[in-house]
Amino acid sequence: MSLARLIDLTKTYVMGADVVVEALRGINLSVEEGQYLAVMGPSGSGKSTILNLMGCLDRPTSGRYILGGEDVSDLGDAALSEVRGRRIGFIFQSFNLIPQLTALDNIEVPLFYQGVHRRDRRRRSMELAERIGLGPRARHKPMELSGGEQQRVAIARALVNDPLIILADEPTGNLDSKTGKEILALFDDLSSRGRTLIIVTHDEAVGRRTHGIVRVADGNIVSHEKN
Amino acid sequence: MLSLKSTEILRLGIANLLVHPGRSVLTMLGILFGVCAVVATLAIVEGISLKMQEEVLKMGATNIIVAARKPAESQSASTGNQGHALAYGLTYDDAERIQSSIQGASVIVPARKIPVTARYLTRRNRVEVFGTVPWYTETYGIEVTHGRWLAPLDLKKMDNVTVLGSSLAVELFPHEESLGKVIWLGENAYRVIGVLAPRGSGGTRAGAAGEDFDRVAYIPLTSASRRFGNVILDRSVGSHSFEMCELHEITVKLASAEQVRPAARIITSLLEKFHDPKKKDWEVQVPLDRLDALERTKWLFVVLGVSIAAISLLVGGIGIMNIMLASVTERTREIGIRRALGAKRRDIVSQFLVETVVLSTLGGAIGVFVGVLMAWGIPWALARVAEILKVGGEAALSNLSRTVVTPGAVILALSASIFVGIASGVYPAYRAAQMDPIRALRHE
């Protein structure tokens, strides 16, 4: 059984009286456990919309989205928040750390909303900070960290709730190539440990490191190559 | 309601407020001043009301005072109609009738007041001679500091003895012992047998405003009738007037407060029957009624003060709401991040609500503290000002000489500030919670 299945998924935005944007026109995709996939395509092709739907940040206009055996396409806002908190790990291009919190506090945010006790949160975040190699800088605020360090914190945050699937949106887009490579090495490492990863990228070199590339254009999947 | 432990939410709220400590303090100021105003106003009102209550109680809550009133005073006095004596007031018959009709009247005290000049050696003073009976002390709290009060035998023998009010004693005998000395009250000599402790003025009493109980010479009622007669010649500057008045005042003391109003009705109807209805020369005063009136007046001031304070609380609340709306906009991205990482709408609502409630409650608590300090400081500061300006403390400021902070006022002020916090936080929190997480995440 697939970890995540997208069945005839469409997403239509009504922008005005008669302006309707069809962002997705019927997507079918199956993600197996432990898969490392790249989603590629030009701007406006709908790849971000796929990521938003898979991350339960949005609901499809039609079609079904089955995540971990549960149909989440019609869940209400509170239930969707719950799914995001427990089953999804997000990594963003612009890191999206909360500026007033320290690195450790940032890593703990998903656990905070699950009601995990303070002590357990701290233990888990220290463990992860150690694993991503943040070391003594774990108590610094995001502004005091380099881009690479910030993205490491974001990766630790994505792992803290032990999610089913990690979704990364252009994770190396804001980094220089050397730091980008370090981050990608971290991704390879996660994949080799059996994590399921979806990465949206423009960069063919990034795509080649994955198990397969899903190419999107005009709201359709045009090809699904295996590497 | 809260999906997180409230202590966690509280900790998060405080941490967020500490990110901009200066801004938080400024936001808090509106509530602080509002609450401070509530506490200080209520303390002043309470103080004034207590002081007035005490003055009324000095007149006795179980007393009824029947007072003589001079009808159309201006006519006889200003026209200089010297040959004509104005007859008015209460009579001994009235006193007897009251005595026999009121059951449960424990004491009935008749009194008359005669303005005279008191003399001792070369010292002279305009005073009031107050002819009364020994049991006067049972209706009014009187403390004798030297000597003794009037005795039944004094009344029976119509002795020329007098007990002096405290100020009068000091004025006539600044340096020497007064007991046993003989002073002149009008045309007659009286021996001083006692001096009273200060009683203060009966400022709150109707028709007797400014009456100074401390510049009075008390003599037996019988002596007063015999020596002064029923005709009183008042020789004030530039005019003479004659009056005929047997009794100026009859105080009826009842056993309990419940009996006061029925008794007052009986006395009123008695006097209506026996006195000329065209010339109402009497008046029934019930201190208990004044107490009720005082209570109503107090509430009027409480409502007035609280309304004014409510306006400043409203302004404070608008201030908080304004800052929170700005803060929500500024933190749009943070809201998006938190939503993406599993925060529900109600988590966001409680996060922002906690911030406003913490701000307003803290502001309220500091406001209460400052308000209590102000309530303390006002009487002190006014006393200093009075000293500098050489205004007698007895004057207009005396009503502000005490302020009382009641627990009710503190509870009211604190709950008002918490309410303002919730009220001003709801809309910004709702706005924050309604944001679309995807758009919030893209917000720059």
Contact B5 A115 (CB under 8 A): yes
Query: What are A22's two structure tokens?
Result: 């069809």
Q: Tell me if A187 is assigned to some domain.
A: yes
φ, ψ of residue B403 to 5 degrees: the values are: -125, 145
- Identify the burial level of B122 via C-beta atoms within 10 angstroms of its C-beta, where 0-12 means exposed, 13-18 middle and 19 or more buried: exposed
Contact B345 A161 (CB under 8 A): no
pLDDT digit string, tens, across residues A176-216: 999 999 999 999 999 999 999 999 998 899 999 999 999 99
pLDDT digit string, tens, across residues B70-102: 776 544 444 444 455 667 778 888 888 888 888
Q: Is the pLDDT of residue A76 over 60?
A: yes
Radius of gyration of chain A (CA): 17
Domain ranges for chain B: 6-56+292-442, 63-255
* B19: closest chain A residue by CA: A100
pLDDT digit string, tens, across residues B327-372: 999 999 999 999 999 999 999 999 999 999 999 999 999 999 999 9
Chains A and B form CB pairs within 8 A to the count of 68
Total residues belonging to chain A: 227
Q: Tell me if A55 is assigned to some domain.
A: yes
For chain B, helix (H) and strand (E) counts, in that order, are 13, 13
Q: Tell me if A14 is assigned to some domain.
A: no
Q: Tell me if A1 is assigned to some domain.
A: no
Lowest mean pLDDT among A55-64, A114-123, B287-296, B406-415: B287-296
* A115: closest chain B residue by CA: B4
Q: What is the CATH number of the domain that holds A135?
A: 3.40.50.300
Q: Tell me if A7 is assigned to some domain.
A: no
pTM assigned to the model:
0.73
CA distances from A32 to A193, A198, B38, B155 (A): 15, 11, 66, 117
Q: Looking at residue B198, what DSSP letter applies?
A: P
Beta A212-217 vs A36-40: how paired, if at all? parallel
Shortest Cα distance, chain B CAs vs residue A131, angstroms: 21
Q: Tell me if A46 is assigned to some domain.
A: yes
Given this model, what pLDDT does residue A194 score? Answer: 94
* Contact residues for B41 (Cβ-Cβ < 8 A; gap 6+): B305, B306, B308, B309
Contact B19 A100 (CB under 8 A): yes
Shortest Cα distance, chain B CAs vs residue A55, angstroms: 8
Contact B342 A57 (CB under 8 A): no
- Say which of B334, B346, B437 has its CB closest to residue A98: B334
How many domains does chain A divide into? 1
Contact B345 A84 (CB under 8 A): no
CB B130 within 8 A of CB B217: yes
Domain span including residue A170: 34-62+76-226
Given this model, what pLDDT does residue B69 score? Answer: 80
Q: Which residues of A touch B (CB under 8 A)?
A: 52, 55, 57-58, 77-78, 81-82, 84-86, 90, 92, 96-100, 109-110, 112-115, 118, 157, 161
| A100 vs B241 pLDDT, higher one | A100
pLDDT digit string, tens, across residues B293-340: 888 888 888 898 888 888 888 999 999 999 999 999 999 999 999 999
Residue whose pair of structure tokens reads 């709306």 in the numeric block: B325
Distance of CA B3 to the CA centre of its chain: 52
Closest of A92, A16, A29 to residue A66, by C-alpha:
A29
* B332: closest chain A residue by CA: A98
Given this model, what pLDDT does residue B426 score? Answer: 96
CA distance B206 to B64: 13
Given this model, what pLDDT does residue B81 score? Answer: 46
Helix axis angle for B407-433 and B345-389, nearest 10°, is 140
Contact B344 A82 (CB under 8 A): yes
- Mean pLDDT, residues B240-259 taken together: 79
pLDDT digit string, tens, across residues B389-402: 766 545 455 666 78
Beta B282-285 vs B161-164: how paired, if at all? unpaired
CA distances from B392 to A101, B10, B197 (A): 62, 53, 20
The rounded mean pLDDT for chain A is: 93
Given this model, what pLDDT does residue B205 score? Answer: 40
Q: Tell me if A6 is assigned to some domain.
A: no
